[in-house]
Amino acid sequence: MIAIRTLLDLSVHITCLLGVLPLYRELHWPAQLVLPLAFLGGFYQDCRRRYPVPRLLWNLLALLPFVYYGAGLSLTRVVEPVANVLALLLALRLVTEKTPREYLQLFVLAVLTLAASTLLSLSPLFLLMLILQFFFVVLGLVLLTFHGSDTHMRLSLRSLRSLTGAGGLLAAGSLLLMLGFFVILPRTPYPLWDVFNPSSSAVTGFSEQVRPGAFAATMNSGNLAFRVESEPLPVEELYWRGLVLNYMEGNEWRRITPPPEEQSRLSGGRLVEQVVYGEARGDSYLMVLDLTQNIAGLRVQGSQDLVYRELRSRRRPGSYRSESRLGGRLTAHNVDPRFYLQLPDQISPRIRQAAAGLTDEAAVAGDIIAATKRFFRDQKLSYATTDLPGAEQPLEDFLFESRRGYCEFFASAFAVMLRLQGVPARLVGGYYGGQYNALAGFYSVREDRAHVWVEALEDGVWRRIDPSQLAINADSAPFAGGGSRSGWGRRLLDGVEYYWNRTVVSYDLGRQAQLVRGAVFRTRGLSLKRPSPTALAVLLGVGAGLVAIGWLAARLLVSAERRLLRRYLRLLRRRFYPQGIPDHAGLTSLARGTGDPRCLEFADIFNGAVYRDRPLGKGEKDRLNRLLRMLRRT
């Protein structure tokens, strides 16, 4: 026998722990320090039933979090203060003496704490915590009802199993109802992330400016940048285009609007479709496979150099479809060469002299590009992110002194030398490579894959050139290949997170409208045709699942004694009492009325156990089942 107070304390502590876990690492250090101590101290006090600190003092201490975090509350800083206040209030309630009101407060605070974690991040861990917490909340409320009627009540293991089964079924039914509401209730395209965290943005390896030597630190970030649902592609084609940098000022490349008369046309290549699931970020540039001709699923603004921007900054994960031409040609029309030959005055004389000596004045763009590639190889440049050139003359130091640099050094130096020789050139910023998850069919591209390359105008076509591939250690450089190969377990977890983002995080009003339109079109085409084997198998599987759930519910909610009694009474009614069993008749009197010794034996065994407040033993259950089978056969 187990005291119901012990079960109630255990359920409330587990419920609170499930509410805190997804939020813990986002809390400030006072809450992170207090919470473990509160769980240990509260559980210890509940076991000993001793609470040395009076409740009044704890209530006064509960005012401190409101005062401290309320002073820093603002429209742009809401979530973190509220989450920390909830966590500290939960900690204070855990160490106080618990009346039924305190138990209810703890359940409410635990649910609110778990809900607050979704305003900071929404991971698959939340769903697991929600399911478990919902079960323990339902179980705790049922236990609290019994505790309210008798504080000293004790439960047997058999009663506890029945109670747990009933709580599990109630939680499962409620979760199914919540799933239905999730699918049908309208969802705003402007989520709570934007309302409560308007200034938050992710730290990325992608930048809107390129200044050699300024962004090496971001290249070590392993955070996820985006995922792409796609067929497997050759590694050398995994260039994810973000923006074009076409103007150089000092040592910095940035983007300005190209001349309005400039036009471009994408043709040739193999058409490839992808679905991109992007993470939240502070800019509005969309990552697409180079070269992409169309984007669907978002309101975007495109330009002639194939740079796509969402009309508003993306502060939550989202998805969009793109159509790319693998190996296509980007043909330029009405290009003003002076726009792509602009250079600042402070270009190093040493670089100017090196560029002037590569080819003669009659050389065409193809010869100039080939000569510049040979120059880079002859310099024996190394791809590196440490011991980099200085900030005063970074390109000169990179080409002639240290000869070490990462993609921004390679691309910037290459584009400068092309422009010095009269070849229009520009930089393209984005990502390169990615890990392919064959279990789910998508690429994972992380921030350390951020990359910069060059586009040069040759015979009216923008050619992609990656100068980083000219490094003497290009095969082993960090950008090479698709990234380190992860294990099977990591790929499985990555797939789970991918499908979570696809089905939950990215589910919005647009997806709901798409589902409704699809359902309408399918309904119009309905006919009384013979179902396919696949559809029939699905229907049979669903039916079998519902039958199994019903059988399980009957087993959990109805005791073995009650089921045996129901079977026995049905047999009596069919064989001996066709006019109906008399009201208020006992089992023994009914058995005597049948004149069958087996009925008398059944009544003696059943009454000897159930009416003496003990469950039937295994041998007794087996004997009663045999008696019922014998009665059924005769």
What pLDDT shows up at residue 528?
44
What pLDDT shows up at residue 227?
87
Average pLDDT for residues 441-468, to the nearest whole number? Answer: 91
**Does position 570 have pLDDT exceeding 90, yes or no?**
no
Of the two residues 392 and 100, the one the predictor is more confident about is 100
What pLDDT shows up at residue 536?
64
Q: Give CA–CA dist 390/398, Å, rounded.
A: 9
Q: How confident is the model at residue 186 (pLDDT cuts 50, 70, 90)?
A: low
- Write down the pTM of the prediction: 0.61
Query: In this structure, are strands 300-302 and 252-254 parallel, antiparallel, or unpaired?
Result: unpaired
Q: How confident is the model at residue 538 (pLDDT cuts 50, 70, 90)?
A: low
CB neighbour list of residue 406: distance below 8 Å, 6 or more residues apart: 216, 219, 383, 384, 385, 388, 468
Of the two residues 547 and 456, the one the predictor is more confident about is 456
Average pLDDT, the chain: 81
Average pLDDT for residues 87-115, to the nearest whole number? Answer: 89
Q: Which of 262-266, 394-398, 493-497, 506-510 comes out lowest in average pLDDT? A: 506-510
CB neighbour list of residue 379: distance below 8 Å, 6 or more residues apart: 399, 400, 403
In Å, what is the CA distance from 511 to each residue of 113, 288, 309? Answer: 29, 21, 21
If DSSP codes are grouped into helix, strand and coil, which group holds residue 224? strand
**Does position 138 have pLDDT exceeding 90, yes or no?**
no
Q: Give CA–CA dist 79/85, Å, rounded.
A: 10
**Does position 556 have pLDDT exceeding 60, yes or no?**
no
**Does position 586 have pLDDT exceeding 70, yes or no?**
yes
**Does position 483 have pLDDT exceeding 80, yes or no?**
no
**Does position 79 have pLDDT exceeding 50, yes or no?**
yes
By C-alpha distance, which of 108, 99, 114 is closest to 144? 99
Average pLDDT for residues 541-560, to the nearest whole number? Answer: 65
CB neighbour list of residue 45: distance below 8 Å, 6 or more residues apart: 51, 95, 97
Q: Where are the domains of the chain?
A: 2-185, 217-489, 558-633
**Does position 369 have pLDDT exceeding 90, yes or no?**
yes
Average pLDDT for residues 398-416, to the nearest whole number? Answer: 92
> What tens digit of pLDDT does each residue of 100-111 get?
888 999 999 999
What pLDDT shows up at residue 316?
58
